[in-house]
Amino acid sequence: MQAIQNAITYGIFPVTFGSAFAIAIISLQQGVMPEILPAAIVLRVAGIVAIVERVNPYVREWNESKNDTKMDLLHMIVSMVLLKKGLETIFITVLFSAAIRVSDFLGFSLWPAQWPLLPQLPAAMLLVGFMEYWFIRSTHLAAIH
C-alpha cells in the first residue's frame, strides 16, 4: 500500500503537467481560443488534485467531515482564487516587465519567439510552473516570519 501512496505522491506532478500539456495541444488543434486555455487547464489540474487529495491526503484527519463545506468553499474562492490569482498576476506582471526591460537593455529577446509553437508551449508551462512554485514558497516564507 505504501508503494502505491508513494507512486501517487511522486507521480502527481508528471500526471498533472502531462494532462495540462495534452489539453493545450488538443485544444489548439481543435481551434479552441488560446484565451480560454488557462481556465481549462486550471479546472483539469484542480480536478486531478482534488481527487488525489481525497485518495492520498497528506494528513488523513484532514479528510474527515466537520460539516464545514460552505466555509471551505468560501475560503477556497477567496484565498485560492481571488487573493492568490490577484497577487500572482501582480508578481508575474512585475517579472515580465523586468524581463522586457532586461531584453531591451541587452538588445535581444529572452524568450525563444522564433521557435515553433509546440516547443514554446512546454517551455512556457515550465516557466509558469517555476514562477508559481517560487511565488507559493515566498508566501509561505512570509507567513512564517
Residue 20 has pLDDT above 70, yes or no: yes
In this structure, is the dihedral angle defined by the CA atoms of residues 97, 36, 54 and 17, taken in order, positive or negative?
Answer: negative
Joined grid coordinates for residue 20: 495540462
Residue 58 has pLDDT above 80, yes or no: no
Give residue-wise pLDDT tens across range 78-103.
777 777 777 777 877 887 788 888 88
Please, which pLDDT band fits residue 145 given cuts at 50, 70 and 90? low
State which H helix or E strand residue 36 sits in: none
Give residue-wise pLDDT tens across range 115-140.
888 888 888 888 888 887 887 777 67
What is the distance of C-alpha 50 from the center of its chain?
14
Among 143, 135, 137, CA closest to 88: 135
Q: What is the CB neighbour count within 10 angstroms for residue 24?
A: 22
Residues 6 or more apart in contact with residue 63 via CB below 8 angstroms: 53, 54, 57
Please, which pLDDT band fits residue 144 given cuts at 50, 70 and 90? low
Q: Residue type for 56, please?
A: N
**Mean of pLDDT over the chain:** 80
Residue 143 has pLDDT above 70, yes or no: no
**In the chain, what percentage of residues exceed pLDDT 90?**
0
- Please state, in angstroms and rounded to a whole number, the distance separating the CA atoms of residues 81 and 85: 5
Q: Residue type for 88, please?
A: E
